[in-house]
Amino acid sequence: MPEIILKTDMPDKAARILIEVLETESFRLKYSMQLAKRRLSKFEKKYKVSSDKFIKEWSAEDLAGKDLEYVEWAGEYKLSIRLNDRLTALKSIHHVTS
């Protein structure tokens, strides 16, 4: 497993701070994903189609709100993908003491 090495004169304090930062960011990402999922769910219920299928097969002309609604749904979908990728990367970080 690749490592990232950080150097500090205060390893205990720095380790605690980094762990807190990672936990806070993880919480923030999970919360943001919940919000994005709720917004995606509204579109999915309205059009009775999954966001995955929408992004692959639909165009603005398929939606009642046309361009604006398409941009909102597609943007929310892409945001949820980015949030999930960041959370996955964050979860891959393990604190190891030597």
pLDDT tens digits along 4-17? 888 999 989 999 99
Q: Is residue 9 part of a domain?
A: no
Count of the separate structural domains present in the chain: 1
- Whether the pLDDT of residue 75 is over 80: the answer is yes
Question: pTM for the whole thing?
Answer: 0.84
Q: Is residue 97 part of a domain?
A: no
Domain boundaries, position 73:
36-90
Q: Residue 47 burial (CB < 10 Å; 0-12/13-18/19+)?
A: middle
Q: Is residue 15 part of a domain?
A: no
Q: Is residue 1 part of a domain?
A: no
Looking at residue 90, its pLDDT comes to: 94
Looking at residue 95, its pLDDT comes to: 78
